[in-house]
Structure 1
Amino acid sequence: MPKAVVLGAAGGIGQPLSLLLKANPLVTELGLYDIVNTPGVAADLSHINTQSKVNGFLPADDGLEKALTGADVVVIPAGVPRKPGMTRDDLFKINAGIVRDLATGIAKTSPKAFILVISNPVNSTVPIVAEVLKKHGVFDPKRLFGVTTLDVVRASTFVAEKLGDPSLAASVTVPVIGGHSGVTIVPLLSQSSHPLPDSFATSELEALTFRVQFGGDEVVKAKDGAGSATLSMAFAGAEFAAKILRAIKGESGITAPTYVNLTSDPSGAEALKKELGKEIDYFSSVVELGSNGVSKILPLGKVTDYERGLINAALPELASNIDKGVSFIAGPKL
């Protein structure tokens, strides 16, 4: 049975994420790592009466290596949260080095693990992880994922609210493609499992799209400088991790939008790039998961003219984000 590891386990996302993973019956061992407080978080979680054994590690005494040894799934929420007025570029300057160093540890200790990147900005941090793994000769694009599930969770919640029945939130499914920041987030509302009414005005569609794209700003503003989207992100991260764990176990037919390197499925990528009309190395689209990670990259399907405009607006920004991550590793030597 799988060992899950959380890197950044003592933080605002890391603690609730670790709790949710501790409650997942598919996890038999949980390794926690952070620069502070991890032994305490592990001790607290270890009192919960589920099967998984929990250990917490700090940087001293090769803590990162110990946490990662034997890892099957590694989830990375490490980094600083976004604060009011902070752009994702500001986040990049701080979080890029953190993610680089953690990726180096993964490359050396658990290169076969499935890596789930939450650390923002995901559009850039996933390429950073990939470039580190490439430098160590252990890159497998099928096993690297950017977690964009929060965008999907938000879209489902907001659509259910618009339909006047919040109880539908758990059953509404809206594909969200592109990337994981601002205009790169493209909710395909026309493909919602619960269609919006025909009377839905263009202004309402634009407002709903904007809310999905910039929902994180709502939380940052509401917390008034005290943090960003931590609880909802932890929930979304645990939801995606659960799908990976089910796929590892052999369950078939599991799909989810996720930000991946398109070489993970060359044939699916070729079809996707034709739909996009652009060459790009990373993109979030609906992916079928298998026991080895990415099984298939699924096509976008029919999109509206409005959604096509959103995709066209997303692609240049996404390409710039990807280049920023790749360039960050191209400079320094590991």
Structure 2
Amino acid sequence: MARKKIALIGGGQIGGVLAQLCALRELGDVVMFDIVEGMPQGKMLDLAEANRVDGFDADLKGTSDYKDIAGSDVVIVTAGLPRKPGMSRDDLLSTNAKIMKQVSEGIKQYAPNAFVIVISNPLDAMVTLCQRITGFPKERVMGMAGVLDSARFSCFIAWELGVSVKDVNAMVLGGHGDTMVPIKRYANVNGIPVYELLKKKYNGDMRKVEEVMTAMVERTKGAGGEVVKLLGNGSAFYSPASSAIAMVEAILGDQKRLLPVCALLEGEYGVNGFYVGVPVVLGSKGIESIVQMDLDAEEQKLFDISCNAVKELVEAMDKLL
């Protein structure tokens, strides 16, 4: 059986980690595209020369020609400027929208049957633009955000409770920005609600419990900015790449995983015509279904606020294009 083909659009930090993960896990052959001539070729040559040491079989290629992504089963888009200290994801809108327009046209022409996973920020606007330009079915165009945000929330919970993060389940919905909505009520450690474990840790002091939970929620919302500030030049790349790979594995392996993904909603959650982070089932058909969670009044209010922020972002993008 022929190996799958994965195209990476953007040869920066995230692109490099994506290529390495694809190779190490033998997900398929990989082509990395970047407009900087020589850079993707050099990175992929370097990675290919590690195949004997790491023991993987994959054809790895770097290119600056969109023609080389032809026949790709999955395209992951990371192209765009990264955030710098003091910048919000939304500050990248104008520049990255122009880049995404060109990228989407290349994908449409040369990889018309591919699943597309967008990582570029501001995520909700970029995946919207990609789907509009490619015209691909909504099941095949999605954004990576919820997997990453939920992983971050899970990490903070695990650190607070002193448990393995492998046993933590947490979900973050809404837009990929300051208005994202970590769903506190559903967070659990192997089925035991995080609230219950926090109550035991703090001897039933609910004021302290809410204080700690609020701190974890706020840290989750600002997690990307925290990394940007510490790095000083650039933004997160390990965790976004790993999160995207989880989505690729779910699609190529038909895993039917229930993951939070930026998906086009058409009535679900009361949202129509916008890409927003919600739980979906990912399998061989891409987004195979959208899972409707029961939100309480507070959660729904926060989700609506986040959706409105996404709408404003898309409207701002439309004015620029």
Into which bin does the TM-score normalised by the smaller protein fall? Answer: 0.7 to 0.9
| Paired AA for residue 215 in structure 1 | A
Taking the aligned partners of 1:271 and 1:8, their CA distance within structure 2 comes to 32
Query: Are residue 71 (structure 1) and residue 68 (structure 2) matched?
Result: no
Relative to 1, partners in 2 of residues 1:287 and 1:325: Cα closer, same or farther, differing over 3 Å? Answer: farther
Taking the aligned partners of 1:206 and 1:174, their CA distance within structure 2 comes to 14
Per-residue deviation at 1:306? 3.9
| SS at structure 1 position matched to 2:62 | strand
Query: Are residue 170 (structure 1) and residue 173 (structure 2) matched?
Result: no
Question: Is contact 1:181-1:213 (8 Å) kept?
Answer: yes
Q: Deviations over 1:36-59 (max 9, x none)?
A: 20111111111223121101102x
Taking the aligned partners of 1:172 and 1:284, their CA distance within structure 2 comes to 20
Please name the residue that 1:85 is paired with.
86
Please name the residue that 1:209 is paired with.
217
| Paired AA for residue 46 in structure 1 | A
Consecutive unaligned residues of structure 1, counting only runs of 5 or more, are: 263-268
Taking the aligned partners of 1:305 and 1:161, their CA distance within structure 2 comes to 29
| Paired AA for residue 259 in structure 2 | A
Question: Is contact 2:32-2:44 (8 Å) kept?
Answer: yes
Per-residue deviation at 1:202? 2.1
Relative to 1, partners in 2 of residues 1:171 and 1:322: Cα closer, same or farther, differing over 3 Å? Answer: farther
> What TM-score comes out, normalization by structure 1 length?
0.84
Consecutive unaligned residues of structure 2, counting only runs of 5 or more, are: 200-205
Query: Are residue 289 (structure 1) and residue 282 (structure 2) matched?
Result: yes
Moved over 6 A (4+): none
> What TM-score comes out, normalization by structure 2 length?
0.88
Taking the aligned partners of 2:24 and 2:250, their CA distance within structure 1 comes to 14
| SS at structure 1 position matched to 2:26 | coil
Taking the aligned partners of 1:244 and 1:174, their CA distance within structure 2 comes to 21
Taking the aligned partners of 1:289 and 1:232, their CA distance within structure 2 comes to 19
Sequence identity (%): 30
Aligned pair count?
299
Question: Is contact 2:262-2:278 (8 Å) kept?
Answer: yes
| Paired AA for residue 40 in structure 2 | T
Please name the residue that 2:142 is paired with.
145
| Paired AA for residue 52 in structure 1 | A
Question: Is contact 1:259-1:284 (8 Å) kept?
Answer: yes
Query: Are residue 6 (structure 1) and residue 13 (structure 2) matched?
Result: no
The one of 253, 258, 266 equivalent to 1:255 is 258
| SS at structure 2 position matched to 1:52 | coil
Please name the residue that 1:266 is paired with.
none
Per-residue deviation at 1:78? 1.2
Please name the residue that 2:269 is paired with.
272
Q: Deviations over 1:183-223 (max 9, x none)?
A: 1x111121123221342522222211111111011111111
Taking the aligned partners of 1:132 and 1:280, their CA distance within structure 2 comes to 15
Question: Is contact 1:76-1:116 (8 Å) kept?
Answer: yes
Q: How does 1:88-107 map to 2 (within 5 A)?
A: 88-107=89-108
Taking the aligned partners of 2:243 and 2:281, their CA distance within structure 1 comes to 18
Question: Is contact 1:32-1:55 (8 Å) kept?
Answer: yes
Q: Deviations over 1:148-194 (max 9, x none)?
A: 121011011111112122xx2123121211121111x1111211232
Question: Is contact 1:8-1:79 (8 Å) kept?
Answer: yes
Relative to 1, partners in 2 of residues 1:324 and 1:112: Cα closer, same or farther, differing over 3 Å? Answer: farther
Please name the residue that 1:218 is paired with.
226
The one of 42, 57, 73 equivalent to 2:63 is 57
Per-residue deviation at 1:140? 1.0
What CA RMSD, in Å, does the superposition of the two structures yield over aligned residues? Answer: 1.8
Per-residue deviation at 1:12? 1.4
Question: Is contact 2:90-2:121 (8 Å) kept?
Answer: no
Question: Is contact 2:6-2:74 (8 Å) kept?
Answer: yes
Q: Deviations over 1:273-308 (max 9, x none)?
A: 2xxxx545222111012322111100122x344433
Taking the aligned partners of 1:293 and 1:237, their CA distance within structure 2 comes to 13
Segment drifting more, 311-320 vs 210-219: 311-320
Please name the residue that 1:228 is paired with.
235
| Paired AA for residue 211 in structure 1 | R
| SS at structure 1 position matched to 2:188 | coil
Taking the aligned partners of 1:100 and 1:180, their CA distance within structure 2 comes to 20
Taking the aligned partners of 1:326 and 1:24, their CA distance within structure 2 comes to 39
| Paired AA for residue 245 in structure 2 | A
Taking the aligned partners of 1:193 and 1:203, their CA distance within structure 2 comes to 18
| Paired AA for residue 139 in structure 2 | K
Question: Is contact 1:174-1:188 (8 Å) kept?
Answer: yes
